[in-house]
Amino acid sequence: MEAILSPADAVEVYGNMVFRAAFGIVKSQQDAEDIAQDVFFSLVRTNPRFSSAEHQKAWLLRCTFNRCNSYFRSAWHRHTTSLEDYHNLPFTPEETYVLDTVAKLPVKYRQVIYLHYIEGYSTAEIAQLLHRNQNTILSQLSRARTHLKTSLKGDF
């Protein structure tokens, strides 16, 4: 059984995961870095008690998605134009194309795609993490797959 990590160790272990989750949602490297920093600042400031390492990981992801949602509601986001930052990151053209396609999905679909395919959570775990009904998650995952299949059809 994994031990619950100190905030400093949590940054080392989960920092990349939190950044990738934020980046997958907000599509901006700088904004994702800011969100990740806010998440770990919240971890230090609130010092929550976790029942397990998995609970700590889920808390970090939930906090990340909450920060992303706050970012989209902010006046700053509504009055600025985002540049597609991942084009400057070291991805192959195929990976960049898939990222472009996933980035075009609505936020609620990007969240479930990320949690299911990248983090490996089951639909029941995603439902609990996002405070949604499991059938809603199944529907969102199905719709996201349909959008991706239609968009990527014939390209690979």
Pairwise CA distance, residues 46 & 49, whole Å: 9
pLDDT digits (tens, 9 = 90+) for 92-125: 777 777 777 888 888 889 889 888 887 888 999 9
Pairwise CA distance, residues 156 & 131, whole Å: 35
pLDDT digits (tens, 9 = 90+) for 38-86: 999 999 999 899 999 899 999 999 999 999 888 888 766 554 545 455 5
- For the cut 60, the answer to whether the pLDDT of residue 87 exceeds it is no
Given this model, what pLDDT does residue 16 score?
92
Strand (E) or helix (H) holding 23: helix 7-26
The dotted CATH code for 90-156 is 1.10.10.10
Pairwise CA distance, residues 16 & 11, whole Å: 8
DSSP label of 2: P
pLDDT digits (tens, 9 = 90+) for 10-31: 999 999 999 989 988 888 888 8
Given this model, what pLDDT does residue 70 score?
87
Task: List helix spans (H) across 74-133.
Answer: 75-78, 93-103, 107-113, 123-130
Given this model, what pLDDT does residue 83 score?
45
CATH 1.10.1740 domain residues, the chain: 1-89
The overall longest dimension of the chain from CA atoms, in Å, is: 49
Hey, which CATH number is domain 1-89, 1.10.3470, 1.10.287, 1.10.1740, 3.30.420? 1.10.1740
Q: What is the pTM of this model?
A: 0.65
